[in-house]
Homo-oligomer: A and B are copies of this chain.
Amino acid sequence: MKQCEIKTFGILGGDKRQLFLADSLIKDGRSVILGGFDTLRSFGSIAIADIRTALEYSDALILPVPCVRTDGSLNAPFASGGIYFDSDELEIMKKKPVFTSMKERLVRAYPDLKGARLYDYAARDDFAILNAVPTAEGAAECAMSAFEGTLAGARCLVTGYGRIGKVLSRLLHSLGAKVTVSARSDTDRAYIQAFGYGFVNTTELREVRGFDVVFNTVPFLLFDETLLKNTDRDTLLIDLASLPGGVDFDAASALRIDAQRALSLPGKCAPKTAGEIIKTTVFRIIEEGNR
């Protein structure tokens, strides 16, 4: 697979992110055919085609995040009806590099694609790290919107110091918040202290007192009823952990703690940036293939 060979990308389905991805590819001098956007007439100077055209006249295909719905139809919110690939279409797909998210789910829905050149851009670590920037900014936006004070001067707790925790704690610190981060390892603790944040050990978190806003990034039920009972009532709790999430929302509601779920922030809050990150990641895969 050589980068120079791919002149035309077929973008099949997806939301605004894929439209900005298309736009960004065009600005880079590539051609783009959009398929699965038939409720739109056009997008800028890019023509909207049907799926078959997009498949046939492109050198490579890009599927969205997530790629297909549970019923196997293409995730295509801008399409007027459900889109399922037929065997002819799958044949075409097998001849081209296909950049997709959730490769396994795709193959489960379309076993014919086993053996196709499927590249899962969304499974990559660098994709997730780059998306931590729009996620963190989206989380800050949520907090600015729901918290009645400014983040400047606010006492914020970030639970977890993975990709999102690293980027979010830095962002909140930049905004003038007083940042405490919870983590478990000695290594994380040392970085947290080196960067000047307060530290608490996640495993010793028995109560959450004196914080205006808490951002949870820990992907298990950290804020269970017990911890929530020992959390200040006027604390705003924003759960960034992917489903099932890290907060018992029923318990929070019963305790009258304002807890909000904030998922898929890159696509919702910054689809332009999210689209550019897809492009960056796809190009890296291509580049690596060329080595």
| A20 pairs with B272, CB closer than 8 A | no
| A148 pairs with B16, CB closer than 8 A | yes
Could you tell me which residues of chain A, from 144 to 162, have a CB within 8 Å of some CB in chain B? 144-145, 147-153
- A145 cross-chain contacts in B, Cβ below 8 A: 141, 145, 269
> Is A205 engaged at the interface, CB distance under 8 Å to the other chain?
no
State A251–B31 Cα separation when bound (angstroms). Answer: 34
| A191 pairs with B129, CB closer than 8 A | yes
State A90–B174 Cα separation when bound (angstroms). Answer: 48
Which secondary structure characterizes the binding site on chain A? helix
State A20–B138 Cα separation when bound (angstroms). Answer: 26
Which of A67-75, A80-88, A97-105, A182-190 makes up part of the contact surface?
A: A182-190
Q: Give chain B nearest CB distance to A67 CB in angstroms.
A: 22
| B270 pairs with A124, CB closer than 8 A | no
Question: Counting chain B CB atoms within 10 Å of each CB, which of A124, A125, A144, A187 scores highest?
Answer: A144
> Is A38 engaged at the interface, CB distance under 8 Å to the other chain?
no
How many copies the complex holds: the figure is 4
> Is A279 engaged at the interface, CB distance under 8 Å to the other chain?
no
Which one, B129, B151, B189, contacts A187 given CB within 8 A?
A: B129
Q: Give chain B nearest CB distance to A118 CB in angstroms.
A: 19
Q: Give chain B nearest CB distance to A10 CB in angstroms.
A: 23
- A150 cross-chain contacts in B, Cβ below 8 A: 133-134, 137, 269-270, 273
Could you tell me which residues of chain A, from 256 to 279, have a CB within 8 Å of some CB in chain B? 269-273, 276
> Is A254 engaged at the interface, CB distance under 8 Å to the other chain?
no
State A220–B92 Cα separation when bound (angstroms). Answer: 49
Q: Beyond the given A129-B194, A133-B194, A174-B176, could you list 6 further A-B residue pairs with CB under 8 A, ordered by the A residue number?
A: A16-B148, A126-B190, A129-B190, A137-B144, A150-B270, A170-B195
Q: Which residues of A contact B (CB under 8 A)?
A: 16, 20, 124-127, 129-130, 132-134, 137-138, 140-141, 144-145, 147-153, 166-167, 170-171, 174-176, 186-187, 189-191, 193-196, 269-273, 276, 284
Query: What are 30 pairs between A and B in contact, CB < 8 Å?
Result: A125-B186, A125-B187, A126-B186, A126-B187, A126-B190, A129-B191, A129-B194, A130-B194, A137-B175, A138-B144, A140-B144, A141-B144, A144-B144, A144-B269, A145-B145, A145-B269, A148-B270, A149-B270, A149-B272, A150-B269, A150-B270, A150-B273, A152-B196, A152-B273, A153-B196, A153-B273, A171-B175, A174-B174, A174-B175, A186-B284
